[in-house]
Structure 1
Amino acid sequence: MIQSVEQAQVDRVDARAIEAVAVAARAAQPQLAAAPGEQRRAALLAAARELRASRAAILEANERDVADAVDLTSAQRDRLRLDDARIEQMAQGVEAVAAQPDVVGRVVDGWTLPNGLRVRRVRVPLGVVGVIYENRPNVTADAAALALASGNAIVLRGSSQALASNRVIRGAIARGVASVGLPEALVGLVEDTSREGARAFMRLEGIIDVLVPRGGPGLLRAVRDEARVPVIIDGDGNCHVYVDRAADLAKAAAIVENAKLQRPGVCNAAETLLVHAAVADEFLPQLAERLGSCELRGDERTRALVPRALPATAADWETEYLAPILAVRVVDTLEDAIAHIRRYSSGHSEAIVTEDLAAATRFTGEVDAAAVLVNASTRFVDGGQLGFGAEIGISTQKLHWRGPMGTEALTSVKLVIWGDGHVRT
């Protein structure tokens, strides 16, 4: 039998070693699912202590990763780099997940049928969660904490640029898990970072229950094309801020600056600004000065008000820059703003700045996105900021879950039905 080139490439990697990590995680998961919530919480608190105790080792490994990394954008290099503050944030994030209410076994709802059967819908773990991600060692800690808290085993497959960092972080978390009597295999790390290894990982049908990709368009395309397991897409973020004619312009300027520049290289940063024509003359020149060196790319009406703005092309309206670049368009009506967002939004986060309740209500009702904000920066669309403790990703799809994915997003439900000798006639 003649093999395809793609199958031969998969065979050249040590697919058995990749599978072994996932099989071990799957074998360990029932013990975690049956563990009391207090034991899972203790595992997370121990993992946070281990992360702090491993600070020097994590920094040393991360320095090697950063030094060896090539061809990274400034946003990618920023996501890769760790420091004392970011390690402390990781540990605090794990503790914040531990402080969340336990979702495993939670009764969602229930009812009693006329025949006396008692029906309950109960939250249960998904099983084994696979995460494939790029240049983000903090994801190792966040994803592992959320999976463990929700009764799931996790198999992590990061990028080659972050491999040394991921090894040390995973080791710290695994030690914390083991210290409370749970298997280290609950937190697996695939160290094969080749494309063929990624393909083999995505094809672990029957072993991995759900795959969450976190990365750029190339990774998402590969997952859509290659994955043989269910996928929850952590999509890109072409996020908009619309400044309405009834906006408080001081609020608007602060919100736009924060949404664009507080951390430009992340998915919830704003990429396009829409400004109502009634306030554009006053607002845009002041905003351009406030944004300093941020590159502006505008339509003709914007460039008439902001001479330094470069001409915007059609591609600018659909681009996730992940950089200090902002596309700007002047619109005549709220309807025009909504129509622009409908056409170009990636379904991540969209914001309106207005003091008009009717405009805000219409915007929140008609804009289709995982998160819609009124008078607030898109940067708040984050699991930690919204009270989930952390996030394994931000889902931009509509099935199962939408928005930041905390512990509840890593569960499904099952029906538990109690009878008393009931038989169907």
Structure 2
Amino acid sequence: MKIVDTLLTPAMQHPGAELAQLRADFPILATKVAGKPLVYLDNAASSQMPQSVIDCLVRYQTTQHANIHRAVHHLSEIATQEYEAARHKLQHFIGAREVREVIFTSGTTESINLVMHGYGRKFINQGDEIILTTLEHHSNIVPWQMLAEEKGAHIRVVPINDAGELLLDEYQKLFNANTRFVALSHVSNALGTINPVKEMIAIAHEHGVPVLIDGAQAAPHMQVDVQTLDCDFYAFSAHKMCGPTGIGVLYGKAHLLESMHPFKGGGDMIASVSFEKTTYNELPYKFEAGTPPIMAAIGFGAAIDYLSEVGLNKIAAFEHELLVYATEAINSIPGVRIVGDNPKKVAVVSFTIDGIHPHDVGTLLNEEGVAVRTGHHCAQPIMQRFNIPATSRASFAFYNTKKEIDALAAGIRSVQKVFAL
């Protein structure tokens, strides 16, 4: 991997050279859009893949492809080894106590749905209450609404202030004898707010209530240790972490996973099957029915290798510097407002421009080669809280540059000029 030597060599003194070498690991960053260099600022939706991950995917498809488990031929054995090695990498990446606590899913959305079906449908009943927050992605709202409707349970919601921060005093007041579950995001996808999840987990546990953390926006940007957090479940996706789409992880404490119903039935999640009775496989295979996305899981392992070698602390430092620079640049433009502007956030800047719909902003920025996300970001309750239909969202990764932020700011000014004509 080219970046490893560059980042870890003490002789490398010039940060510009370091970043240039890092960017060289991502071939897509050389793309031109409308004849202009691509400025990719949509990393909260999906990050880009380094060459090492791309090479891993090609190598698997050309030299290792076979279905995993049970077979004794060479390709199957190699594929199985690579697949399970990826699980071990992810165990260490998040600090899980046991490798069997790492369940491969299709992504964060399926991970949350797995918990809703496997835990929620078994243990949540009529009159019970589930605590969510205003900052949740739809993927961490809709499954719990479906469960509440089915069971006759109730949703309680933690409010936020004008800075986009959760009100912990209000959170504590929501707990009562009927509270059965808490589901909340580690980081808001729409605002970038970092929630005090460790404290919120501790409060829930004082009431004997388990907690699921949606970590889709946190795992790419900061060190996550599930044992330190003491969360009961943690969900995240590869495609936001320099990996492929279609693969994610659900971490769960082993005793909870063992108590749950399987989400899906089929091959490999069974120990034995007869028409009289089926017994389920041990963890983690109990929750991995059918042929899994083998190549994607192996690619996820390669992405974890890459992120680990770059270093989560270095990534956080790069991105914080970009966030500070971008916040100052956007705040300096008259008629532009950052939504959820608070110091405890990852490198996400959601903004509105007076008199201009975000979709128009995104369309015109694209003509400048600048890629941002526009809309409600699958977080409509947040938009309702701020009384806006949508925002434009610039989200940064460690391979972005201040020059790209300058291009974003120049693009915003160009958009304003178009609408001033």
TM-score (norm 1): 0.25
TM-score (norm 2): 0.25
